[in-house]
């Protein structure tokens, strides 16, 4: 048994699944795990466009939680796959309210990683009375500095050979704006070029998602069936700055949620979401509990991150059950 298997709760199947129409032609896949009378929590997957994996259910004690997990617009088992019409942060915020009301939940714990942090903060700041607390892992605030770090060359100093693979599909004359060049190709009319770019994009995402690249994640992000829809959704969001009004919108909005309990978890060597963003969020939110994992990168599947997440969900279960 691997170290991560020893940390997570045992595999569990949903006790209910739903198809939820949310408008703009989108229908979301939603599942519930645990016990119907447990502490309500909602799991927000990363990406955007990444979709759910079965292991996501295992960060919560099934004897104490009622966990709602769903594939966001265009992702996973939601339809249409890769759909971009009506697909923005604020559509997803509205979707969360549709799901919550449909399931008869008054308020829930928000658990989000990476892009799920962005969405979780946007949702909590919009609907603070519907949130009982937040667990945020691998902080992404969608600031320009973060996007430049990952897509415009900052990270090449740590990943030079992978950066060369990433920019290979882009002509040298366009590499002053790698993100823009990718966005044009991923959403352009040349399907073969879009698929080639999607595979390169997916590799870059996958190899930087953990200290040691995960072969399964790499296969998923580069597989022809998944690569293009994921890359299109992700580039759509990144190109538009997460559809936020200002670069610091999520930091400026922290005052709306400072009364809520929160745990912020970040790997010290997170290449996707360096800990400076978690630190900046904690500076704006001094009541939050910042926990830097010293021997981890970005992935929730790394033992240090997984252990920190389970400690946080166990703490919240005890806190919210009463």
Based on the fold, state whether residues 158 and 220 are members of the same structural domain: yes
Please tell me the pTM assigned to this model.
0.96
Based on the fold, state whether residues 14 and 45 are members of the same structural domain: yes
226 is catalytic: no
Based on the fold, state whether residues 98 and 161 are members of the same structural domain: no
Domain of 154, in residue numbers: 145-242
- The reported pLDDT for the residue numbered 322 is 65
- The reported pLDDT for the residue numbered 259 is 98
What's the total number of domains in the chain? 2
Based on the fold, state whether residues 158 and 298 are members of the same structural domain: no
- The reported pLDDT for the residue numbered 2 is 61
Based on the fold, state whether residues 212 and 169 are members of the same structural domain: yes
What are 158-191's pLDDT values in tens digits?
A: 999 999 999 999 999 999 999 999 999 999 999 9
Alpha-carbon gap, residue 275 to 107, rounded angstroms? 29
We report the CATH number of the domain holding residue 80 as 3.40.50.1820
Query: 209, 270, 277, 299: which one is catalytic?
Result: 270
Based on the fold, state whether residues 238 and 263 are members of the same structural domain: no
Q: What is the 3-state secondary structure (H, E, C) of the chain?
A: CCHHHHHCCCCCCCCEEEEEEEECCEEEEEEEEECCCCEEEEEECCCCCCCCCHHHHHHCCCCCEEEEEECCCCCCCCECCCCCCCCCHHHHHHHHHHHHHHCCCCCEEEEEEEHHHHHHHHHHHHCHHHEEEEEEEEECCCCHHHHHHHHCCHHHHCCHHHHHHHHCCCCHHHHHHHHHHHHHHHCCCCHHHHHHHHHHHHHHHHHCCCCCCCHHHHHHHHCHHHHHHHHHHHHHHHHCHHHCCCCCHHHHCHHHCCCCCEEEEEECCCCCCCHHHHHHHHHHCCCCEEEEECCCCCCCCCHHHHHHHHHHHHHHHHHHHC
Query: Which tokens in the block code for residue 259?
Result: 């009364």
270 is catalytic: yes
What are the φ and ψ backbone dihedral angles of 195, each rounded to 5 degrees?
-70, -40
Of 215, 242, 269, the domain-final residue: 242
Instruction: Give the CA diameter of the chain.
Output: 61
Query: 114, 210, 277, 299: which one is catalytic?
Result: 114
Of 242, 270, 295, the domain-final residue: 242
**Which portions of the chain are predicted below pLDDT 70?**
1-2, 322
Based on the fold, state whether residues 136 and 15 are members of the same structural domain: yes
Based on the fold, state whether residues 125 and 254 are members of the same structural domain: yes
Based on the fold, state whether residues 80 and 135 are members of the same structural domain: yes
Based on the fold, state whether residues 134 and 255 are members of the same structural domain: yes
Of 242, 277, 307, the domain-final residue: 242
- The reported pLDDT for the residue numbered 1 is 47
Based on the fold, state whether residues 231 and 293 are members of the same structural domain: no
298 is catalytic: yes
Based on the fold, state whether residues 258 and 231 are members of the same structural domain: no
């Amino acid at each position: 048994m691997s170290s991560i298997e020893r940390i997570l709760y045992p595999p569990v199947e949903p006790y209910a699944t739903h198809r939820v129409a949310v408008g703009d032609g989108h229908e979301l896949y939603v599942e519930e795990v645990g016990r119907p009378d447990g502490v309500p929590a909602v799991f927000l997957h990363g990406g955007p466009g990444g979709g759910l994996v079965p292991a996501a259910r295992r960060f919560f004690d099934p004897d104490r939680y009622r966990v709602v997990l769903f594939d966001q617009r265009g992702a996973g088992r939601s339809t249409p796959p890769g759909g971009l019409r009506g697909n923005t942060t604020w559509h997803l915020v509205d979707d969360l309210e549709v799901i919550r009301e449909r399931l008869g939940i008054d308020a829930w714990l928000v658990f989000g990683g990476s892009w799920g942090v962005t969405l979780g903060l946007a949702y909590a700041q919009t609907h603070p009375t519907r949130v009982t607390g937040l667990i945020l892992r691998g902080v992404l605030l969608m600031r320009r500095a973060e996007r430049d770090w990952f897509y415009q060359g900052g990270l090449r100093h740590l990943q030079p050979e992978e950066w060369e693979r990433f920019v290979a599909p882009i002509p040298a004359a366009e590499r002053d704006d790698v993100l823009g060049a990718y966005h044009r190709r991923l959403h352009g009319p040349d399907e073969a070029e879009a698929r080639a770019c999607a595979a390169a994009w997916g590799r870059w995402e996958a190899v930087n998602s953990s200290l040691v690249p995960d072969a399964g994640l790499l296969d998923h992000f580069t597989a022809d069936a998944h690569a293009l829809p994921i890359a299109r959704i992700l580039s759509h969001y990144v190109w538009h700055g997460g559809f936020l009004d200002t670069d610091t919108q999520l930091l400026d909005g922290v005052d709306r949620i400072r009364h809520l309990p929160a745990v912020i978890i970040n790997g010290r060597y997170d290449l996707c979401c360096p800990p400076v963003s978690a630190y900046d969020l904690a500076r704006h939110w001094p009541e939050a509990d910042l926990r830097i994992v010293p021997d981890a990168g970005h992935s929730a599947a790394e033992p240090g991150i997984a252990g920190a997440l389970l400690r946080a969900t166990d703490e919240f279960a005890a806190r919210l059950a009463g």
